[in-house]
Structure 1
C-alpha cells in the first residue's frame, strides 16, 4: 500500500484492498478490514478496530480519547462493524474502563457531524442522522432510526426498531418498536412502516400495537399494564422483549403523549 500523502503508523494493521486517501492519519494500534475506503483528512487514532467494506468520509475522527474527566489513559477500543458508512466529520470516541470499548455495529449509516461518545453500544442496521449527539453509555438497538439533531442523555437505552423524531431530547428510555416524538419525548405509536419494510406480518404488528395500547392508552400504571400483558396476551418473543425492556429500564421509559407542554 503506497499512500505518499497519508500517514500510516508502521504498527497499524491494514488489510488488502483498503483505500486510504491523501492527508489521512492512521495511528498505532489500529486495525482496518478488507475493502474499506477512508477519505481524505480522516483521523483514526489508537484503539480503532474497523471492519470490512466500511466507508469513512472526510473529516471523521475515530477512536479519540473519551471526553470524560475520569479517563486516565487506559487502553480501550472503538469498534466499527462491517459495511458501515460514516459520513463527514463524525466523531466516535473510544471507551473507558467502565466497559473498555465503544461499539458501532455492521450495516449502519452514521450521518454527518454525529457524535458517539465513550462506552456507547450501537447495534446493527442503525441509522443515526445528521448532528445527533449520543452521550456516554448509550445503547441503541438493531434497526433503530434516530432523527437529525437529536440529543440523547447518558445511560439511555433505545430499543430495537424504534424511531425517534428529529430534534428530540431523549431523557428516558425508548422501548422497542415504538415511535417517539413531541416535547417531552413521548410515545406516538409503533413504527409500523419500518416493521412492514423489515418483513413483520400484519398480525405481528397488531400484536405489538395491542401491547402498547395497554401500556400507553388504557390509563393503567406500568405495573398494572405489565401484569395484564403477561396474563392476557400470548407469550411471544416480541411480547417478552417489551416486558423485559421496561422492567430492566434504570432511567424509566418515556411516557404516553398527553398533549400538554
Structure 2
C-alpha cells in the first residue's frame, strides 16, 4: 500500500475544502452533478476517442498502481544475478536451464533461454532491446492516456462554464434560475482544472516513474544476459548487483 498517494490525495481535497470554508463558502456548493457530468464524462469520452481499446484497458488497470505499486523486485533480481553467476562459473551456461524453468518472469525466461540456446551475444542483445522497446512503448501509451485526460479536462471545464453562462443568458427574466447556471459555470472550471492538476497529472507522473523503473531493471537484466553470453563473469557482474541494491534504498 502506497500511503503517500492516499495522504497526498486527502491533503489535496482537504486544501480545497478548507480554503472554501475560510472564504466563507460551503462545501456543498462545490457539488454540481451537471458540472461533474460535463467535465468527467466529456474528458473520458475524449480520451476514449483517441485511445485504442487495448491501450485503454491497460491504462485503467495501471490505475491500481497508484495505491498498490508493483512489487519492487530489484533485490530479487540482484540475488538472481548472483545465482546465475555462480551457476555459470561452476556448471556452465547450459545449467541456467533450471533457472529458466523456475522463473515466472517472461523477460527473464527469454534471456536465459537465449543463453542456453547459444545465441550470439550481439544478436541476443538486439532481440532483448527490441523486447524492452516494445514493452516501454506499450506502457507509455497507457500512461499517456492519463496525461491526455489532464490536458482535456481544463478545456472541457471551460466548455461547461460557457454552457452555464448560456443557461444564465437564457433565463435573465427568471432570477430564480440564474443561480444554478452561474454555479455550473464556475464549478465546471474548478472541476476541470482541479482534476487535471490534483488527480490526472499526478497519476500520470507516478505511473511514468514506475514504468521508468521497470524498464531500467529490464535493461540491467539484458546487460547481465549479454555479460554471461560473452563470458564476462568478473567485477562487472558485481557492479550490476551493486547498482540494483543501491537503487533500492
Q: TM-score range by the shorter chain?
A: under 0.3
Larger Rg: 2
The structure where strand makes up a greater share of residues is 1
TM-score, normalized by length of structure 2? 0.22
Greater relative contact order structure (CA < 8 Å, 6+ sep) = 2
